[in-house]
Structure 1
Amino acid sequence: MSEDATVDAGAATPDAGGWEAVFWDIGGVILALDTVQAAHADFIASVLDRHDVDTTLEDAIDIWRTTVGDYFRERDGTEFRSAREGYHRGIETIVGEEIPREEWQPRFDEVVSSSIEPIAGAPETIARLADRDLHVGVISDVDDAEGRRMLERFGVREHFDSITTSEEVGRTKPDPEIFETALEKAGVTPARSLMIGDRYDHDVKGAADMGMHGVAFGADDGPAVAYRIESPEEVLEIVDDNESGDE
């Protein structure tokens, strides 16, 4: 294993059977979040132009982020809330009046689809994992249709054996239900499963609390981190290192 892919000193390893599954978050792990932010800025600029709103783009982006953030903070614990509804509120707050969803959504989808990009190396790594005797899955806090469109856009949808979203389950990470649903779909044991995430409490610790092995990709340090990677490709080193050790 390379120096970049590190193993936590207290991390356990799977039993002699090796790994059964690798689960991926989407945002910040497969999807480059800076490209999402750029896409949203482009979309907001088009909203200002279309509705002749007298404000700067910078102020409009601040309004958008505050409104959407407040919308998510209003939820009850891990209750799922659709990002689309948050965006809808953000647009109405910027414009100052009711804007029908069918008026803004096609433009939003067009801008986002043409602008978002994957994390370098993620699509190739997912494809290579799919060639191994592993269940390759998604566990993500996204609107279901939106998440699937992103995976299609990056050409990796066909490589996933299962996709579990917070909209489908009705709960967001780190609620145990979303991890339980994904594990049940995959038919795998938690102790032989990896979860790759960019948020410590939601992805890494949430998975570890279920008995899974948390792989931190940009996530904070903590006792729940079993492995830390600096690039998606290093997941292959984790999987292959165990396989070679079992021979």
Structure 2
Amino acid sequence: MSEDTPATDPQYNTVFWDIGGVIVELRSIREGYAAFISELAADHGMDPEAALDEWKSILGDHFKAADGTEYQSAHEGYRKATTELFDGNPPDDWELILEEATAATLRAEDGAVETIEALHDAGIQQAIVSDIDTDEAHDMLDSFGVYDCFDHVTTSEEIGFKKPDARMFEDALAGTGAAPDRTVMVGDRHRNDIAGAAGVGLGTVGYGDDAWGPETDHEIEHLREILDIVGVER
């Protein structure tokens, strides 16, 4: 699509995106964790499967410790899990190993990059609303070459809360100046993304059946369908 291809009488002029499970393939993130632990295990004579199970268990407990919608930093969880895995004395380069391992496996969901670029070319405003650390969000968007397609990035690390807390969506609305009734949220989880967005008056696109429910205005299986919903010619 050319850079000056206009949206055709769009129902929405702003699209809010979740990252994990929508822009980024979740399996690729899990593969990065496994590669990280596998490298550490090989260097330090550990059973990689047992080490990965322990690391994920500690990380999971870290996130479960959150009070309600309070956000727990992912990086702090990585630090805690890696430190406990090594009885308080992790390798000095563990952060670099994690960064390289996760970057090497990271993949976008099918159609995500093309859809983001097409919306951008058509003049549709876009923003991120994601339960993620800020640096991690920026790095992921940069890795796919779409960072400049977004007018605003709202992360749970910045707000201190995670979806469905209304403050997440309200920050994105304030940051973009978007009108709720002309904005649609794309998410893969019904309670967090869809119900949360609907609660502040946004339109909703549920990507995959885990996001489908009574508050879902548009149920899709492929991200390219967003172009039809917004009114952008393919």
Q: TM-score, normalised by structure 1?
A: 0.86
Q: Does 1:98 align with 2:98?
A: no
Question: Partners in 2 of 1:162 and 1:229 — Cα distance?
Answer: 24
Any stretches of 5+ residues in structure 1 without a counterpart?
1-15
Residue 195 of structure 1 corresponds to 185
Any stretches of 5+ residues in structure 2 without a counterpart?
1-8
Question: Partners in 2 of 1:72 and 1:205 — Cα distance?
Answer: 21
Question: Partners in 2 of 1:17 and 1:151 — Cα distance?
Answer: 25
State the 1:112 CA deviation.
0.9
3-state SS, counterpart of residue 225 of structure 1: coil
- What is the RMSD computed on CA atoms of the aligned residues? 1.7
- Whichever residue aligns with residue 112 of structure 2, its letter is A
Out of 44-53 and 22-31, give the one that drifted further.
Answer: 44-53
Residue 36 of structure 1 corresponds to 29
The aligned runs of 1:21-170 (5 Å cut-off) are 21-53=14-46, 56-99=47-90, 102-170=92-160
Q: TM-score, normalised by structure 2?
A: 0.91
Count the aligned residue pairs: 224
Question: Partners in 2 of 1:95 and 1:143 — Cα distance?
Answer: 24
Q: Does 1:233 align with 2:227?
A: no
Question: Partners in 2 of 1:32 and 1:182 — Cα distance?
Answer: 23
Residue 184 of structure 1 corresponds to 174
Question: Partners in 2 of 1:71 and 1:17 — Cα distance?
Answer: 42
- Whichever residue aligns with residue 223 of structure 2, its letter is P
Question: Partners in 1 of 2:54 and 2:90 — Cα distance?
Answer: 16
Question: Partners in 1 of 2:191 and 2:52 — Cα distance?
Answer: 27
- Whichever residue aligns with residue 82 of structure 1, its letter is S
Judge conservation of contact 2:190–2:213 (CA < 8 Å) in 1.
yes
Judge conservation of contact 2:10–2:230 (CA < 8 Å) in 1.
no
Residue 4 of structure 1 corresponds to none
Residue 6 of structure 1 corresponds to none
Judge conservation of contact 2:194–2:211 (CA < 8 Å) in 1.
no
State the 1:93 CA deviation.
2.6
Residue 9 of structure 1 corresponds to none
- C-alpha change, 1:238 and 1:195, in structure 2 (3 Å) is same
